[in-house]
Amino acid sequence: MKRIALLTFLLALLLAVSPWPGVAARGADLPEDRSAAIAFVYHRVGEDAYPESNLSLSAFEEQVREILNGGYTVLALPDVIAALQANTALPPNSIILTFEGGYRSAYVNAMPLLIEKKIPFTVFFASNLAEQDISDYMNWQDLQKLQRLPFVSFGLHPANNAPMAELNIAEAHDQITRARVATRKHLNINPDLFAYPGGKITATARKAVANNGFKAAFGLHSGAVYADADLWALPRFSLTDRYGDLERFQLAAHALPLPVSDLEPAEPIFNADTKALGFTLPKSLAERSKQMTCFASDNVKTKTQVIGQRVEIRLNQAAQDEPRIRINCTLPEPAHAEGESPRWRWLGMLLFNTGLSGNAESDLASNPQQGLLP
């Protein structure tokens, strides 16, 4: 089975094309582009009672048609992580599909459509929820059925699905251990992928995940994954009713990496003393830095200042009243051919206010791409 998966992956590399209307296959502009892929994350599907984290079934069906006909290469997440670790090139327009939280609505409404077409996907779940056999979540029997499919992979949440940011290092280790013990018992596997509930990533959470043998971990901030990205804080684009229409799917699916360094604050948190965010662009992008646009979610306004390679984003006073802020910075990529549609280099940040706490359901996917483009 592993040999078949490897051959399939190599074939995708050889046959990769980019027939998205107006976008031609082309060589990489930055070294990071050759290993880039876009990860999408779904939460609930077809549960209208939860608008913050739900995507309608009709929207999901439309996206599946786009995936099948839009010239994408859907890769299994474990294959992508292996390629990132080896700095191996990926096909143009590579995408990854993931499901967050182990919601049963996704199992019933969405996954059968992918299974029918043998489209790879990864399920992140919390072992306690599977154990309790709660109607809203997949149980061990559901997960065992998925496990029989060679193109389905699994990742873990903490056992109780609690935000890692609220745990100390000992508690975080305990939650990971409990999740692994239960998963070995019921599925006889030891997943090496992890996702932070609510996308909350702190230094303590990241350390616990890295020290427990995971190969990669995901948040809920937007952007492209690529070889030099932080493997324990990888981005994904959330797809919900508010931000999950076909146009946004296509826009995100063709995003390019916006690699930065010296990111401040070092942890994705802010408080009353936080006045600005900052990062440094590579020299290859500095000459176009004035074209960069950065937006914040909800009522928060930003002012972007660019000095050479350094970019600083100042927040207005309204930021102090928000439990979390999404910042998305985009840089247009020049067209390489006449009539070619523009693509965007994309950096997303999800920051949490240490002085406030947000609604758990809203933390999942609210405002994933607020005010993204001019």
- For 245, counting Cβ atoms within 10 Å of its Cβ (0-12 exposed, 13-18 middle, 19+ buried), the class is middle
CA distance 316 to 301: 6
Q: Is the pLDDT of residue 374 over 70?
A: no
DSSP string, 9-32: HHHHHHH----STT------SSGG
For 69, half-sphere exposure in the C-beta direction (CA atoms, 13 angstrom radius) is 8
CA distance 315 to 300: 7
Q: What is the 3-state secondary structure (H, E, C) of 139-194?
A: CHHHHHHHHCCCCEEEEECCCCCCCHHHCCHHHHHHHHHHHHHHHHHHHCCCCCEE
Please tell me the predicted confidence (pLDDT) of residue 354: 79
Please write the tens of the pLDDT for every residue from 88-138: 999 999 999 999 999 999 999 999 999 999 999 999 999 999 999 889 999
Contact 161, 126 (CB under 8 A): yes
Please write the tens of the pLDDT for every residue from 186-195: 999 999 999 9
Domain ranges of the chain: 2-256, 261-365
What are the tokens at 319?
Answer: 């930021």
Q: Is the pLDDT of residue 373 over 70?
A: no
Q: Is the pLDDT of residue 260 over 90?
A: yes
Q: What topology does CATH give the domain 261-365?
A: Immunoglobulin-like (2.60.40)
Give me the sign of the Cα torsion angle 23, 28, 34, 36: negative
- CATH classification of 2-256, choosing from 3.40.50.300, 3.90.1150.10, 3.20.20.370, 3.30.2090.10? 3.20.20.370
Q: What is the pTM of this model?
A: 0.88
Please tell me the predicted confidence (pLDDT) of residue 27: 38
Please write the tens of the pLDDT for every residue from 12-63: 443 333 333 333 334 347 999 999 999 999 999 999 999 899 999 999 999 9
**Residue with the two structure tokens 């998205």:** 20
Please write the tens of the pLDDT for every residue from 76-90: 999 999 999 999 999
Q: Give the Cα-Cα-Cα angle 231, 236, 238 (nearest 5 degrees).
A: 160
Mean pLDDT of 206-212: 94
Which residue type, as a one-letter code, is found at position 256?
L
Neighbours of 345 (CB within 10 A): 25
DSSP string, 198-210: GG---HHHHHHHH
